[in-house]
């Protein structure tokens, strides 16, 4: 079978063509639902879908009519995507995600119906100041969780740490169901401070290139003691009055920002983390290393830690979409491996 998986988020649209569980071709564009918010319509998103689909089909040498199935996850199922699919309430696992899939016809994009995978929200009613911290949601990460748990053959409850533009802290149970999540904007915050504040000059507008444990931990400690805003200004002080190098200052800043993720991990009522809960850490190598070190040195967490490697987290969204489609009965299990 020729299967398209589309991961369309806030800023990027990525399309993969799969055959017998292997990626045959892929294409990505820096277009997402952010463009819908800016333009007031989803024309740019649809064009990105058309362009990435055309690219992978051309690379594979097949015609549009030879596509057997098309799957999509991420913000594409939000009100700013192509059709809204309501979030599933947690707990939600493979069976619930498969049952919650919906189709949409986009004849101006592709001939086949597009199967949309729903996101997941924490199980709560009306949200107010009394319970807003316990409420959270995801669109896209649920497919990555499904694939990651399968690849790791994880058994038992765990908490997944998935840093990126946003950090997702996701709690799963023994049945591989998503119990809840907690989100921070650590990645966006680090980028904003690095490139759009006075601190830009102190780090040359760039992020840490190599990990310097001492500086990372110092930044985290500073933020915990005197707050993030004060810790950030200390980066400028280090640049003007010390011999600390640029990469070391960038490590200090990264530690200060990521320390907030540890606070959320420890205290968020959205995931109710226990000190002995196993932790699975994904993301770019630098963030994986940094979070792993911060957690190790924190003292509160003593559960097993699994730091995922690049191969284990490759094409997670697409692989997860295949597993969900198989659970729905749209494809055979052989198409997922």
CB atoms within 10 A of CB 270: 25
Query: Is the previous residue joined to 91 through a cis bond, with omega within 30 degrees of 0?
Result: yes
Residue 125 pLDDT > 90: no
What is the maximal distance between C-alpha atoms in the chain?
A: 65
- What pLDDT score does 299 carry? 85
Axis crossing angle, helix 213-226 with helix 246-267, rounded to the nearest 10: 50
What secondary structure does DSSP assign to 69-109, as a single string? EEEEEEGGGSTTSSS--PPEESSB-HHHHHHT-EEE--TTT
Enter the pTM of the model: 0.94
Token duo for residue 60: 């594979």
Question: What pLDDT band is residue 165 in, cutting at 50, 70 and 90?
Answer: confident
What is the mean pLDDT of the segment spanning 290-307? 93
Sheet holding 88-89, edge to edge: 88-89, 120-121, 137-138
Residue that is written with structure tokens 């333009």 in the block:
39
Alpha-helix residue ranges (DSSP H) falling in 89-199:
94-99, 141-152, 186-196
Report the distance separating Cα 328 and Cα 97, nearest Å: 9
DSSP label of 92: B
Tens digit of each residue's pLDDT (9 = 90 or more) over 183-201:
999 999 999 999 999 999 9
What is the mean pLDDT of the segment spanning 102-109? 96
> Given CA atoms 265, 267, 271, 277 in this order, what sign does their dihedral have?
positive
Report the distance separating Cα 264 and Cα 183, nearest Å: 8
- What pLDDT score does 270 carry? 94
Question: What pLDDT band is residue 283 in, cutting at 50, 70 and 90?
Answer: very high
Residues in CB range of 130: below 8 A, 6 or more apart: none
What is the mean pLDDT of the segment spanning 223-231? 97
DSSP label of 131: T
Q: What percent of the chain has a predicted confidence (pLDDT) above 70?
A: 100
Closest to 53 measured CA to CA, from 126, 104, 3, 11: 3
């Amino acid at each position: 079978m020729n299967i398209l998986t589309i991961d369309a988020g806030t800023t990027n649209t990525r399309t993969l063509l799969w055959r017998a569980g292997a990626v045959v071709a892929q294409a990505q564009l820096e277009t997402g639902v952010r463009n819908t918010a800016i333009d007031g319509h989803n024309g740019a998103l649809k064009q990105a879908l058309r362009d990435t689909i055309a690219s992978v089909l051309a690379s594979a040498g097949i015609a549009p009519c030879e596509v057997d199935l098309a799957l999509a996850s991420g913000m594409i199922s939000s009100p700013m995507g192509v059709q809204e699919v309501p979030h599933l309430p947690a707990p939600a696992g493979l069976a619930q995600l498969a049952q919650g899939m919906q189709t949409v016809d986009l004849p101006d994009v592709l001939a086949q119906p597009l199967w949309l995978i729903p996101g997941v929200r924490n199980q709560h009613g009306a949200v107010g100041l009394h319970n807003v911290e316990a409420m959270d949601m995801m669109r896209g990460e649920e497919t990555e969780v499904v694939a990651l748990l399968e690849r790791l053959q994880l058994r038992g409850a765990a908490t997944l740490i998935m840093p990126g533009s946003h950090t997702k802290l996701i709690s799963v149970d023994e049945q591989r169901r998503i119990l809840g999540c907690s989100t921070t904007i650590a990645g966006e915050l680090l980028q904003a401070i690095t490139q759009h504040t006075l601190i830009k000059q102190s780090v040359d507008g760039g992020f840490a290139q190599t990990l310097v444990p001492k500086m990372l931990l110092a930044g985290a400690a500073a933020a915990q003691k005197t707050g993030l805003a004060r810790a950030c200004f200390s980066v400028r002080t280090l640049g003007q009055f010390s011999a600390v190098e640029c990469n070391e200052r960038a490590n200090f800043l990264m530690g200060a920002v990521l320390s907030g993720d540890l606070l959320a991990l420890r205290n968020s009522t959205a995931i109710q983390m226990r000190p002995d809960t196993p932790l699975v850490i994904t993301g770019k190598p630098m963030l994986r290393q940094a979070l792993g070190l911060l957690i190790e040195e924190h003292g509160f967490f003593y559960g097993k830690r699994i730091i995922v490697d690049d191969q284990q987290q490759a094409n997670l969204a697409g692989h997860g979409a295949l597993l969900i489609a198989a659970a729905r009965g749209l494809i055979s299990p052989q198409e997922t491996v």
